[in-house]
Amino acid sequence: MCLAIPGKVIELFPGLPYLATVEVAGVRRKVDLGLLENDMPKSGDWVLIHVGFAMSKISEQDALEQMQTLIMLGESEQAIQEVRGYGLEDADEPEAS
Amino acid sequence: MAVATDSTTPKIRFREPQIEMAHGAGGIASRRLVEGLFAPLLFRSPNPALNDAASVEIGGVRLALTTDGFVVKPLRFPGGSIGELAINGTVNDLAVSGAKPEAIVASFVLEAGLPTEMLEAEVRAMANAAQQAGVAVVAGDTKVVEHGKADYMYISTTGVGSYLPGIHIDAHSVRLGDKVLLSGPIGDHGITILLARGELDFEADDLRSDTRSVFPLVQAIAREAAPGIRWMRDPTRGGVATSLNELARDCGLGIHIFEGEIPVRDTVRGACELLGLDPLHIANEGQFLAVVAPEYADAAYNALCQCSGGESAVILGEVREQPAGSVLVTTRYGGSRIVDMLVGDPLPRIC
Amino acid sequence: MKFVDEFRDPEVINKTAEEIRRLVDPARHYRLMEVCGGHTHAIYRFGLKDILPSNIELIHGPGCPVCVLPMGRIDDGLELAKDSNVVFTAFGDMMRVPGVQGSPLEHKARGMDVRIVYSPADALKLAKANPDKHVMFFAIGFETTAPSTALTIIRARAEGIHNFSVFCNHVTIIPAIRAILDSPDMRLDAFIGPGHVSTVIGCRPYEWIAVNEHKPIVVSGFEPLDMLQSIVMLLRQLKAGEAKVENQYKRVVPWEGNRAALKAMSNVFELRPYFEWRGLGFISQSALRIRDNYAEFDAERRFSVPGVRVTDPKAAQCGEVLKGVLKPAQCKLFGRECTPEHPVGALMVSSEGSCAAYYNYEHRKAMATTLAWPA
């Protein structure tokens, strides 16, 4: 019930509104988008796939914010870093005990 | 099945009433069948060293001898076919026993109704593979069975090889501190076959079986590190996990592998993530593992990397005392988990 | 892999593990239950226990749909498929689950037409491609999976497919959590909430856990960073004496859930008055069955179901392990009569069941020397 993987919508089908081709690291499958009918994904969107159905759209914004929160752990709230900028070891931060 | 009461005939330890698919999958069940039935009755040995090839002495000369059966479905898949597997599989069993493959004989069981062009394609594939592997196919046999009894065709190959000088493969010679080498990325063959069956409806462009002869690579490390090579195996059915578990059991030591070093190509990884499979359990047909004494490990590793087809080789791990008889994977975060042999074939999961 | 690799980054994981160490009170013993089998699997796969401080105990919850399925249901399902015209389809997870006369795979070896499918949509496709056969889909799963089954049935009707049916064993997560909390032996501090179930049901259904039971619950993703961050959030709540529902898995879980998925489910399914959970006994309003207006797709109505009931051997202590009262190794059968190869009870049958996970990933680790990844 829990294995769900992020995949990218790469192809939609004009006559079949609920079908899409989704790709994960070069592996492709037709996925049913019916559970997202209230907010249909477009080509290029990322969705969470479970048993051949798209369960949810993945919010890149939320993912980014989450990573930033994690990287900022123990740091001052003002330090906003790019996700890939792991220069945080340099910041002098007293260890919270 | 009656067991002879003659006290000189060994009793079988295999207690299961019938043979199941799991017994052929290369994992725990397979080992039980071999150790519990074939070994005591055929090999007359309570604890046989179950290597890829047997060593026989004929007229003072030691030769390596091995056999393998091929029942793959579908017959043809990206990167190869049953014919290629039939040659490379036996060539590789000889190679990882430290022997140069010299000659192969092949046995065909064909299903009545098999289109000739299908057979021709496979025989051509075998001829091609044999030529590439530098081995001669010297004899063969054919049987035809009724329609429905052979899934198009089954092929068995038996190979004989001459030992490379200075190599002595023995799981019992493995010592603490020995390094575990892996020739290249894992999972390609098994995932290719799984997707080629079409039941799961996945497609991938960049996916092909890795079937090939590993003898050139074995030769390369033999040249540089023969005295230090303790053990080799080609991780076919059951994958790297099964091969290393067999080693761990045979040598009684612990095999540690570093998860960050495990080479897996992106597409294979994507398929494994989607299907909930562990690449360590997936079959390979063109890779091998080698356990090498530490003083020879770097030389062996460099020799592999410089060999064509060995560029992605890695030092996967090392031999330690604990956990005795098991394989431990250390994750990139310093956590660890035991990796066991497969029970049967790897199954996709949704949970 | 995008949205996966970032959440497996070793540096950020180390930072989060440090934060956890900063947050724990060394004098306190924390008992956190991860509800979902997928989280159990992740804990073992990524070796998370090794990087958590020793006074955090992770207790494996009942969220493993294979584990809680009574054996008799498998026998019922296989019985329906004995007709040579019927194709038995199911997820890979089900294939080695033993019924009284063997598992689906064993039945396949004996000649039954049994096929693994990745999706219920594939089972429907099989039905379309084989009009002379009847394709039965053995459905399992919590609310993560039920909407996909529901939608497949809706599609089957829309496309006029008649040779397709579903043997429905879908169960719901809240009653399982309630059963845990109602258990008198239970002493839990907080919950790691099921991330993928929540993509469907949202976060509201857990509010009673915080409000009535005063236990924090954080809805968590499945990557190591997700789980560690969820533990940080739980520890912060516990430190502050709070108990609320939080959503760690924001990138995917909407607080209000997925309306279309819930609609599909309520269209096709209704709650059974009661259902037997292996190891937990009968729980009311805890499982789904197909509504009357979709009866033609209900395998239980199209075929006659024997209604086999199989009780687990008394020695199997699945119930206590499921509720987190016992550790797997404490069950008398663990590792002896009951192994992943010969599972006696529910929790050894699925690779994410507590006992199987513990057996596969831990039991021989006791004396292992854990080493740091070489630089």
**Three-state SS across B29-92?**
HHHHHHHHHHHHHHHCCCCCCCCCCEEEEECCEEEEEEEEEECCCCCEECCEEHHHHHHHHHHH
Write out the two tokens for C221: 């993703």
Helix (H) / strand (E) element for C279: namely none
CB contact under 8 A, A24 and B350: no
pLDDT (mean) for B231-248: 95
The whole-number pLDDT of residue C348 equals 85
Do the beta carbons of residue B336 and residue C373 sit within 8 Å? Answer: no
Chain A residues in contact with C141 by the CB 8 A cut-off are 1
CATH number of the domain encompassing residue A34: 2.30.30.140
Q: Output the CA angle B79-A8-B275, nearest 5 degrees.
A: 55
Greater confidence (B174 vs B30) lies with B174
Do the beta carbons of residue B122 and residue B140 sit within 8 Å? Answer: no
Which domain-ending residue is among B102, B131, B163?
B163
| A20 & A40 share domain | yes
Write out the two tokens for C146: 């039920």
- Where is average pLDDT lowest: C97-101, C209-213, C255-259? C97-101
| A25 & A49 share domain | yes
Note whether residue A96 is domain-resident. no
Write out the two tokens for A8: 């990218």
Which residues have C-beta within 8 Å of that of residue C54, sequence separation ≥ 6? none
The minimum CA-CA distance between B262 and chain A, rounded to whole Å, is 17
Note whether residue B11 is domain-resident. no
Do the beta carbons of residue B303 and residue B225 sit within 8 Å? Answer: yes
pLDDT exceeds cutoff 60 at B37: yes
Nearest to B309 by CA among B68, B70, B88: B88
Chain A residues in contact with B201 by the CB 8 A cut-off are 29-30, 52
pLDDT exceeds cutoff 90 at B236: yes
The minimum CA-CA distance between C101 and chain A, rounded to whole Å, is 26
Partner-chain residue, chosen from B271, B349, B350, that has the shortest CB–CB distance to A27 = B271
The whole-number pLDDT of residue B347 equals 86
Note whether residue B6 is domain-resident. no
The whole-number pLDDT of residue A96 equals 38
The whole-number pLDDT of residue A88 equals 42
Note whether residue B8 is domain-resident. no
For chain C, the C-alpha Rg in angstroms (whole number) is 21
| B115 & B211 share domain | no
Helix (H) / strand (E) element for C8: namely none
| B177 & B317 share domain | yes
pLDDT exceeds cutoff 80 at C117: yes
Chain B residues in contact with C358 by the CB 8 A cut-off are none
| Strand bridging mode C274-277 / C281-284 | antiparallel
Query: Domains in chain A: how many in total?
Result: 2
CB contact under 8 A, B258 and C373: yes
| A40 & A65 share domain | no
Q: Show which subunits contact B, needing at least 3 CB pairs below 8 angstroms.
A: A, C
Q: pLDDT tens digit string along B273-307?
A: 999 999 999 999 999 999 999 999 999 999 999 99
**CA–CA gap between residue B256 and residue C372 (Å, rounded):** 12
Total residue count of chain B as it appears in this document: 351
CB contact under 8 A, C373 and B330: yes
Q: B271: nearest CA in chain A?
A: A27
| Strand bridging mode A16-24 / A27-32 | antiparallel
| B86 & B190 share domain | no
Note whether residue B223 is domain-resident. yes
CB contact under 8 A, C15 and A63: no
CB contact under 8 A, B333 and C49: no
Note whether residue A50 is domain-resident. yes
pLDDT cut 70: percent of chain B above it: 95
Note whether residue B41 is domain-resident. yes
Where does the pLDDT of residue C371 fall: very low under 50, low under 70, confident under 90, or very high at 90 and above? very low
Side-chain half-sphere of B95: how many Cα atoms within 13 Å? 27
- Where is average pLDDT lowest: B23-32, B224-233, C59-68, C166-175? B23-32
pLDDT (mean) for C95-120: 91
| A43 & A74 share domain | no
| A17 & A51 share domain | yes
The type of residue at A74 is G
| A24 & A54 share domain | yes
- Where is average pLDDT lowest: B3-17, B183-197, B318-332, C270-284? B3-17
Note the pTM of the prediction, 2 decimals: 0.91
CB contact under 8 A, C118 and A73: no
Partner-chain residue, chosen from C118, C364, C372, that has the shortest CB–CB distance to B200 = C118
Q: C14: nearest CA in chain B?
A: B333
The whole-number pLDDT of residue C322 equals 79
Query: Domains in chain B: how many in total?
Result: 3
| A50 & A14 share domain | yes
| B186 & B330 share domain | yes
| A15 & A40 share domain | yes
The whole-number pLDDT of residue B228 equals 97
List beta partners, residue C169: C140
Chain A residues in contact with B207 by the CB 8 A cut-off are 26-27
| A46 & A9 share domain | yes
Which residues have C-beta within 8 Å of that of residue C246, sequence separation ≥ 6? C216, C217, C218, C219, C233, C237
| A24 & A67 share domain | no
Write out the two tokens for C331: 């069950």
- Where is average pLDDT lowest: B179-193, C163-177, C329-343? C329-343
| B213 & B293 share domain | yes
Chain C residues in contact with B324 by the CB 8 A cut-off are 367
Which residues have C-beta within 8 Å of that of residue B207, sequence separation ≥ 6? A26, A27, B78, B188, B191, B192, B195, B267, B268, B271
pLDDT cut 90: percent of chain C above it: 69
pLDDT (mean) for C340-362: 80
| A50 & A75 share domain | no
| A65 & A54 share domain | no
Helix (H) / strand (E) element for B347: namely none
Note whether residue B7 is domain-resident. no
CB contact under 8 A, A29 and B276: no
The whole-number pLDDT of residue B351 equals 82
**CA–CA gap between residue C40 and residue C61 (Å, rounded):** 8
How are strands ordered across the β-sheet holding B289-292? B229-233, B289-292, B179-182, B314-320, B254-258, B327-330, B336-339
| B128 & B73 share domain | yes
Write out the two tokens for C342: 């010969």
Note whether residue A95 is domain-resident. no
The DSSP result for B193-210, as a single string, is HHHHT-TT--EESS----
pLDDT exceeds cutoff 50 at B243: yes
Q: Output the CA angle C369-C370-C375, nearest 5 degrees.
A: 125
| B178 & B314 share domain | yes
**CA–CA gap between residue C143 and residue C138 (Å, rounded):** 16
CATH number of the domain encompassing residue B125: 3.30.1330.10
Phi, psi of C304, rounded to the nearest 5 degrees: -95, 125
**CA–CA gap between residue C231 and residue C252 (Å, rounded):** 18
Give pLDDT < 70 ranges for chain A.
1, 74-97
Where does the pLDDT of residue C70 fall: very low under 50, low under 70, confident under 90, or very high at 90 and above? confident
DSSP label at residue C3: T
Note whether residue A86 is domain-resident. yes
The whole-number pLDDT of residue C324 equals 75
CB contact under 8 A, C369 and B322: yes
| B186 & B326 share domain | yes
The whole-number pLDDT of residue C364 equals 63
Q: pLDDT tens digit string along C1-17?
A: 999 999 999 999 999 99
CB contact under 8 A, A25 and C1: yes
3-state secondary structure of B297: helix
Average pLDDT, chain B: 92
pLDDT exceeds cutoff 80 at B78: yes
| B208 & B333 share domain | yes
Where does the pLDDT of residue B143 fall: very low under 50, low under 70, confident under 90, or very high at 90 and above? very high
| B275 & B157 share domain | no
CB contact under 8 A, B260 and C373: yes
Range of the domain at A18: 5-58
Range of the domain at B27: 19-47
- Where is average pLDDT lowest: B81-90, B126-135, C183-192, C260-269? C183-192
In chain C, how long is the greatest CA-to-CA distance? Answer: 67
The whole-number pLDDT of residue A74 equals 57
Note whether residue B203 is domain-resident. yes
The type of residue at B189 is H
**CA–CA gap between residue C325 and residue C265 (Å, rounded):** 33
Do the beta carbons of residue B201 and residue B274 sit within 8 Å? Answer: no
Average pLDDT, chain C: 91
| B281 & B311 share domain | yes
| B231 & B255 share domain | yes
Which domain-ending residue is among B146, B163, B180?
B163
pLDDT (mean) for B57-76: 93
List beta partners, residue C170: C141
Note whether residue A53 is domain-resident. yes
The whole-number pLDDT of residue B8 equals 59
The minimum CA-CA distance between C173 and chain A, rounded to whole Å, is 11
